[in-house]
Amino acid sequence: MTKASRTLFGPLFWTFALCGSAALAQTPASTDARLSALEAATKSAQSAGDNAWMLTSAALVLMMTGPGLALFYGGLVRAKNVLSTMMHSFALMGVVTVLWAIYGYSFSFGEGNSFIGGLQYLFLNGVGSAPNADYAATIPHETYMIYQLMFAIITPALISGAFAERMKFSAMLLFTCLWSTIVYFPMAHMVWGKGGLLNAFLGGKVPTFDFAGGTVVHITSGVSALVCALYLGKRVGFPKEPMKPHNLTLSVIGACLLWVGWFGFNAGSAVSASALATSAFVATHFGAAAAALGWMFAEWVKHGKPSMLGGISGCVAGLVAITPASGFVKPFPALLIGLLAGIVCFWMVSTVKGKFGYDDTLDAFGVHGAGGTLGALLTGVFATNAINDALKDSAGKALPLGWVDGNPGQVLNQLIAVVISWVLAIVGTWIILKIVDAVVGVRATQEQEVTGLDVSLHGEEGYTLEA
């Protein structure tokens, strides 16, 4: 403060201070009333802070689907399918929102049994400005609902990477409605819903740590993607015809938007603007950075050149793997998880996929299935109560979380959760594909596929250079 401003504000300050104490002296309000007013003010200040971060996070997570994933996937397909691929992501921003409002939120977060939520939030009944203490005590229940919706949107959008360039649009819509209902809502309930089988914090029988959706989002979508790829079969001409990504610059923009949006995904999963959110933010960033390098260097060694596509694929793989761990691990384990994810996922898409010969168009399984599984298991190893002390014993002491805390059994719990999500994803997706195939048929005709889905299914082209 400058000397001039001190001379100006000094007298002002004393004037206000004296007025204030005079006012207090005139109305001797009881200490209780003043305390409760102070409590209310503190609560409202905390709510304002938390709510601001959670609304920002919700917007960031939506940005991951559109434009993030739409650009990432759109750039990786051939030019004739760019719009149909982007539409998979974009259409889900509409479809899943409607399902969520009608019954999705209730099936996921209503109080039901161990496997699926109840009906009390049907049509968002009772989801208003009053907080739900079980899920997020400091923000409006409605904020929590809209935040969780963004996860429900991106998860089926991730699967679209496996069936891009050959699935019918009508089949995609029907598939997604059924998949959300049969696979996603139950899985979200089991891991995050009150009373869910795997919920470590709200009375689950198999306590699992999944901070932001390693099982719920990435294993379910990645494994379902593999089932879709196997069920639909290869694209016409695969793997003989060249099917190079048509515009990697779009994919780079998309991947970087995913990286940024992921801060909302993971740090937002603290459901407060707290130190835990910071910790998850740091872990997320560290995981992504190490994985980008891991993939890039693995590729450099194996193929002789580091590539941009390798770098962005690596960062997404790292973000996937750090997702379940983000609110439980310290920064250096986060680097390690990321590095491993980059190398393992590179090996999955460059070696394993080729050996088995399935056509997972954009490697949704190799990145999300493999990265999600790796991350879920490593969470059991590296989770520590030094970062997350939400689980306490009766004396109020923080319970050990993962192997590093001396609780190796947690790795087994994580494995059970992984198996449950794999089984649910495989069985659920297979049944759904059978139903969709019987009702509308899953695959575009060969002629439509060769022409390109943009023109044949949507009547438009992504690039009209003569116009």
Residues near another protein (CB under 8 A): 239, 242-245, 299, 302-303, 305, 307, 309-310, 313, 346, 349-351, 353-354, 363
Nearer to another protein, 6 or 302 (CB): 302
Phi, psi angle pair for 167, to nearest 5°? -90, 145
- Smallest distance from another protein to CB 312, Å: 11
Three-state DSSP class for 327?
coil
Three-state DSSP class for 233?
coil
CA nearest 263: which of 19, 27, 36, 68? 68
CB-based contacts of 126: which residues, under 8 Å, 6+ apart?
120, 141
- Enumerate the β-bridge partners of residue 136: 132
- Smallest distance from another protein to CB 296, Å: 12
- Smallest distance from another protein to CB 350, Å: 3
Nearer to another protein, 210 or 299 (CB): 299
- Smallest distance from another protein to CB 377, Å: 24
CA nearest 221: which of 380, 411, 377, 69? 69
To the nearest 10°, report the CA torsion of 63, 64, 69, 75: 70
- Smallest distance from another protein to CB 163, Å: 17
Alpha-carbon Rg of the chain, whole angstroms?
Answer: 25
Tokens 């999300």: give the residue.
368
Nearer to another protein, 96 or 345 (CB): 345
Q: What is the DSSP string of 348-398?
A: IIIIIHHHHT---TT-HIIIIIHHHHHHHHHHHHH--TTT----B-TTSPB
Nearer to another protein, 107 or 346 (CB): 346
Residues 317, 109, 173: CA angle, nearest 5 degrees: 60
Tell me the helix, strand and coil percentages in the chain, rounded to 5.
70, 0, 30
Helices (H) and strands (E) in the chain, counts: 19, 0
Nearer to another protein, 136 or 288 (CB): 288
Nearer to another protein, 302 or 397 (CB): 302
- Smallest distance from another protein to CB 338, Å: 18
What distance, in Å, lies between the first and last C-alpha atoms of the chain? Answer: 61
- Smallest distance from another protein to CB 244, Å: 6
Length of the chain equals: 467
314 vs 292: CA distance, rounded Å:
4
- Smallest distance from another protein to CB 310, Å: 7
CB-based contacts of 140: which residues, under 8 Å, 6+ apart?
51, 128, 129, 130, 131
- Smallest distance from another protein to CB 321, Å: 17
CB-based contacts of 28: which residues, under 8 Å, 6+ apart?
none
Nearer to another protein, 75 or 117 (CB): 75
- Smallest distance from another protein to CB 211, Å: 28
Nearer to another protein, 50 or 299 (CB): 299
CA nearest 458: which of 10, 18, 90? 90
Tokens 């610059």: give the residue.
249
Nearer to another protein, 313 or 379 (CB): 313
448 vs 451: CA distance, rounded Å:
5
Classify residue 130 as left (phi > 0), alpha (psi -120 to 50) or beta: beta
- Smallest distance from another protein to CB 347, Å: 9
- Smallest distance from another protein to CB 72, Å: 13
Nearer to another protein, 214 or 314 (CB): 314
Nearer to another protein, 189 or 353 (CB): 353
What does the DSSP 8-state code read for residue 259?
Answer: H
Nearer to another protein, 62 or 309 (CB): 309
